[in-house]
Structure 1
Amino acid sequence: MGAMLGMGAAFMPLQFCAAPKKKEGDLDQPVKSTLSAFGIQLYSVKEDMAVDAQATMRSLAGFGYQQFEGFDGGKGILWGMQPAEFKSLLSEIGTTMVASHANVFENLEAQAAQAAEVGMKYLICPWIGPQKSLDDYKKKANEFNQIGEKLKSFGLRFAYHNHDYTFVNQEGSIPQDILMDNTDPELVDFEMDIYWVHVANAKPAEYLAKYPGRFRLCHLKDAESGTGDPHQRGVLLGAGEIPYADLIKQSKAIGMEYFIVEQERFPSGTPMEAAETNAKYLSALQY
């Protein structure tokens, strides 16, 4: 009897054995991702860094930041520490020092040697100021190429960090285009400060697509809606109008490697509280 039942099942019409059809609306949802690592520009907590750099960096690591981007707060790019001491701290708290903003026009070799010794990948020019003419921007682009060539010998990359002024029309052109078009991709990368592009009424997504692979780092900070003073529109991540989930997904697909929080305006709370809130936001953000 059991054998007959088995044979009957074997010859049962296929429609009775087939898996049930999916109903409309049951389509597979795309799998979303979260950032496996993100960093913070230490300028965001500059007052705390000035008081106790090591304690501040330990606290930031506790918030979930795995990467740091530094700046020269008056004690050099290693905050008065020797390279061995600095490396030991990073190892202890489980972080890496991806880059530092620096005055790349002075003492470049000495800074490059320190950066290379602690494992940085970049020295970044954070500011050149509005230039008087497009020719002046071309001259800066040529300087960038020269700096990139020098840093290459130390195993480092050079990058330029934008503000809003390079996205404001000048003599019928966008100065940022001049910098992009006159620098050698083998020597010069760029760090997009997404906030400054946004408040300059440019489109971060469109500009990233225009120059795929040139922006390897970015600054994440949000902007409240409106057209007021661009220096006064900064808010915590997720509290503004910049679509970071979409931008992160797009930029990762075309070469962005480092996502670095920078907070310069604090509508409420302390800089360290803002750093913790921003870390929680990025840890949970799906794209």
Structure 2
Amino acid sequence: MNRRTFLYSSGMLAAISVSPAMALARHAKPTPGIQLYMVKEDMERDPIGTLKQLGAMGYTQIESYGSDKGMFWGKTNTEFKKIAAGYGLNLVSTHYNPCTLPEFDKLAAQAAEIGMKYLVCPWLGPQKSIEAFKNFADDFNKRGAICKKHGLRFGYHPHDYPYKPVDSQLPIDVLLAGTDKDLVDFQMDVYYTVTEGADPYAYMRKHKGRFKLAHLRDVLTKRLPANSKDESACDMGEGIINFRKLITTGQDTGMKYFFVEQSRFFHETPLQSAKKNAAYLKALKLS
């Protein structure tokens, strides 16, 4: 068993285990949210019609992203908020495209104007030196200060690479240590945390209050071959993740926002997957 396989197996065991204390706790069912990137093709074809369908599925919170039409999909911030609200959807956060600090300041002002809670950096990419991540941490603090000035929060969404060692250090640890907890939060994608062999619960507990948002998708029981072009992702409830434990642990450690984001579709469309995941969250019993 090589290191990567061992870590992956360890992460799976952590993800599916349930502590007795957690089993006795009572928690509120999370407000169902979805990252619009999951249904990006539908949003590009018909953003208003897609929002209508998501609202009918039972989602009440959405997270946007930097699409070709912008995070407000060709509308002004107030127009998009009104359209989404008409279908019972609250725009909580958005991922943004790379931009300068002055451009970011304008985005923060627009987001704050309509009551959004977060601007989230979705991608940094693998780096050759750990110093690059230390510089990113400094940049995050600056963007966090801009968000705070406008009355919202800044977040970072790790993918797989922050859990891969660089210069004998994990970038995720460097980013957590190098950012001001009063300015920078994190959005855990439990899929990447588990498939890279990390323990999502250990991270949430050790860094209590730092992981305020999450992306939800499951991990196949049997991992795909290393050279596979597909990810080992599946719909919630069809893999090894114990979402009851994930959500309750998240709530216990300060997590507030939970967004479905599936990336791999079997015999279904993205919207059909979104509907299936919404139903799973609705039926999930936390206590």
Q: Does 1:97 align with 2:96?
A: no
Aligned length: 259
Tell me the residue number matched to 1:108: 104
1:190 offset after TM fit, Å? 0.4
Q: Which amino acid aligns with 2:38?
A: S
- For structure 2, the residue ranges without an aligned partner over 5 or more in a row are 1-22
Q: Give structure 1 stretches of 5+ with no counterpart.
A: 1-28
SS of the counterpart of 2:262?
coil
How high is the TM-score relative to the length of structure 1?
0.86
Task: Give the 3-state SS of the residue equivalent to 1:279 in structure 2.
Answer: helix
Question: Is the aligned partner of 1:150 residue 2:146?
Answer: yes
Bigger shift: 83-92 or 242-251?
83-92
Match of 2:122 among 126, 132, 139: 126
Match in the other structure for 1:213? 209
Work out which of the residue numbers 199, 206, 224 in structure 2 matches 1:203: 199
Match of 1:140 among 129, 136, 139: 136
2:277 matches 1:281 = no
Q: What pairs with 1:241-280 in structure 2 (closer than 5 Å)?
A: 241-280=240-279
Q: Hey, what's the Cα distance between the residues in 1 that align with 2:109 and 2:195?
A: 36
Correspondence for 1:55 among 46, 49, 52: 49
Report the TM-score, using the length of structure 2 for normalisation. Answer: 0.86
| Contact 2:219–2:241 (Cα < 8 Å) also in 1 | yes
Larger radius of gyration: 1
SS in structure 2 opposite 1:232? Answer: coil
**Paired AA for residue 117 in structure 1:** E
The equivalent residue for 1:236 is 235
Maintained 8 Å contact 1:86/1:118: no
Using the alignment, how far apart are the partners of 2:189 and 2:104 within structure 1?
23
State the match for 1:41 in structure 2.
35
- 1:163 matched to 2:162? The reply is no
Distance 1:280 1:34, change over 3 A: farther
Q: Which residue of 2 aligns with 1:73?
A: 67
- Quick one: percent identity of the two aligned structures? 42
Name the CA distance, whole Å, in 1 between partners of 2:236 and 2:168. Answer: 34
Q: Which has the higher relative contact order, 1 or 2, with Cα contacts under 8 A spaced 6 or more apart?
A: 2
Which whole-Å deviations, capped at 9, do the CAs of 1:71-125 have from their partners, x for residues lacking one? Answer: 0111111000122321221331222111000025332122222212222110000
Given that 2:191 and 2:216 are in contact with CA atoms closer than 8 Å, whether structure 1 keeps it comes out as: yes
CA distance in 2, matches of 1:142, 1:61: 38
Take 1:73 and 1:41, find their aligned partners in 2: how far apart are those partners? Answer: 12
Q: Which amino acid aligns with 1:66?
A: T
For residue 226 of structure 1, report the CA deviation from its aligned partner.
2.9
The separation in 2 between residues aligned to 1:202 and 1:37, in whole angstroms, is 26
Amino acid at match of 1:264: S
